[in-house]
Structure 1
């Protein structure tokens, strides 16, 4: 933590700041969202999650966590389908996850007053994750594909980063989509079999895809660039594969033509500007 103590807690993939000396921490395998002090490292409370998220698969629970620019809502999602909702990703087949929005004020009140209770005002959208990327098999095993990072940009819009990993070459691939959850059907009351409700799948627009061969699992907004565009920063951990931690710089570029009515006016096309490991990437820009 900020004062050098080690937090003895579960894996925390998503860590969004809240505009003060606090952060929310997302624990994938519990699953849980906790509030912690940046000054002391102390865990200050737990945000209740919908009960359906408890049926996560091992190491495929709540991976991403984001907070709206106005700090009113938290966004999270299970990485691959819950056991109650459908199968995980496989060769040629994607998976469906629950993109979940939780009001911060109600969740904080519920966490303080009703430990273990259900949060109020929860919204869930059925998010279809793409199938794993094409690969040349080198090792035995099954590929995976999941939703690993979110960036909330306001008015119900989020940037969603998918990651697929395969037992071959290239080992990893990533895709970034723009999702307008404000137009999505609320499936929070759907008990199970979400994968069978294709009519309820949220629409997503592909902004960027590339097979850099590194395990990108985190995404956040960066500073404004000299050309006026906004930066994004993606991060890869070593993933236990002997590869170093790496950063990838991305630029949010305004579209040249007005977006279609179904797309937010803040829609951006993403272009990779550099891989910060001494080598350039050659991005494939789609959806610009």
Structure 2
């Protein structure tokens, strides 16, 4: 019996170990898909795609729109796609409206969905930034839905992320800079989310000279739900500008996460400098090390000492611009990331998506990459 248990444990661990790449060497660009903002699907503008997840069961990409109701009710899309080491094709398949706990479509402005992930029970979890401009303020939220868009339940969000309902706003998420990132591990055992920019009580926003600290929150599966397991400090980089232009203004934020296991992730940082008319998109390998500080019990970070998560630049997407179609040779507002299917050679794929902000000067951009792993001796 002991040998059988040991064998089952080994098989379980082995199966988990093959669900994500181990040591990533580089990303190889495969191709991209571009949709103008004028593109519509079933009578609604296709846009605002802010989060992405691959559904292995249906072999579809699922993307959440951050439309608060201006162009259509909150919804997510599914996409059929074809991906090899040389080709990437994609087309819109379905859209699903999301419903509140009363079975009705959300009222305009009540939710700003940004992240999407799949659970082991085949349900979706979506993150919403909330809205601090409303009176009273709408807090950020993590909500579970079934695939048909029906409300299942709310997951608890740590109180330190919640802004005061009324009055002076000096704690919690900043407006439109809340729960942007969301991902679950391939084995479904852990759920991660993060704020796009520092909480009010934690740090200032990133500048061209200084980075800002955000919280990377890890939940652990407990029965049929998730419980907070840890909070770790992730430093967003300074806004990237040439050395002689440090006085320029811009913005930068953590726009999404891809969880590889309970301690390893890939992050997206997106920067925009208006005067340079430039988007900078960088991907980082992120690791929660044994010595990384767990700040779960810290109400604020400002003025305190802690060990941040380890970060290493994985890719600066400026490097692949020459490989993109001439007509579309510029980056856009990348906000979603997921692991895609494995290629015939066994390598994993990675897919990104951009949020066009329903702006005619932007577009929806899907990008596909092959993940090249380091060879093990």
- TM-score normalised according to structure 1 size: 0.77
Residues 60 and 78 in structure 1, CA contact (< 8 A), matched pair in contact too: yes
Once residues 228 and 255 of structure 2 are traced to their aligned partners in structure 1, the CA distance between those partners, rounded to angstroms, is 24
Change in CA separation of 1:16 and 1:195 when aligned onto 2, cut-off 3 Å: farther
Once residues 367 and 260 of structure 2 are traced to their aligned partners in structure 1, the CA distance between those partners, rounded to angstroms, is 20
Map of 2:128 onto structure 1 = 27
Map of 2:212 onto structure 1 = 95
Residues 25 and 35 in structure 1, CA contact (< 8 A), matched pair in contact too: yes
Once residues 95 and 237 of structure 2 are traced to their aligned partners in structure 1, the CA distance between those partners, rounded to angstroms, is 41
Once residues 332 and 283 of structure 2 are traced to their aligned partners in structure 1, the CA distance between those partners, rounded to angstroms, is 15
Change in CA separation of 1:244 and 1:230 when aligned onto 2, cut-off 3 Å: same
- C-alpha displacement of 1:129: 0.6
5+ residue gaps, structure 2, are 1-74, 76-93, 99-104, 131-138, 163-171, 319-329
Once residues 108 and 69 of structure 1 are traced to their aligned partners in structure 2, the CA distance between those partners, rounded to angstroms, is 16
Once residues 108 and 155 of structure 1 are traced to their aligned partners in structure 2, the CA distance between those partners, rounded to angstroms, is 16
Residues 73 and 102 in structure 1, CA contact (< 8 A), matched pair in contact too: yes
Map of 1:56 onto structure 2 = 173
Once residues 153 and 12 of structure 1 are traced to their aligned partners in structure 2, the CA distance between those partners, rounded to angstroms, is 23
1:74-153 to 2 correspondences below 5 Å: 74-105=191-222, 108=225, 120-134=227-241, 142-153=249-260
1:1-288 to 2 correspondences below 5 Å: 4-5=96-97, 7-8=105-106, 9-29=110-130, 30-39=139-148, 41-54=149-162, 55-105=172-222, 108=225, 120-134=227-241, 142-183=249-290, 184-194=292-302, 196-197=304-305, 199-211=306-318, 212-242=330-360, 243-256=362-375
Once residues 38 and 64 of structure 1 are traced to their aligned partners in structure 2, the CA distance between those partners, rounded to angstroms, is 20
Once residues 195 and 256 of structure 1 are traced to their aligned partners in structure 2, the CA distance between those partners, rounded to angstroms, is 42
Residues 95 and 145 in structure 1, CA contact (< 8 A), matched pair in contact too: no
Change in CA separation of 1:254 and 1:10 when aligned onto 2, cut-off 3 Å: same
5+ residue gaps, structure 1, are 110-119, 259-288
Q: Secondary structure at the match of 1:52?
A: helix
Structure with the bigger RCO (C-alpha within 8 Å, sep 6+) is 2
Q: Secondary structure at the match of 2:346?
A: coil
Map of 2:165 onto structure 1 = none
- C-alpha displacement of 1:174: 1.2
Residues 136 and 169 in structure 1, CA contact (< 8 A), matched pair in contact too: no
Matched residue pairs, number? 245
Change in CA separation of 1:245 and 1:257 when aligned onto 2, cut-off 3 Å: same
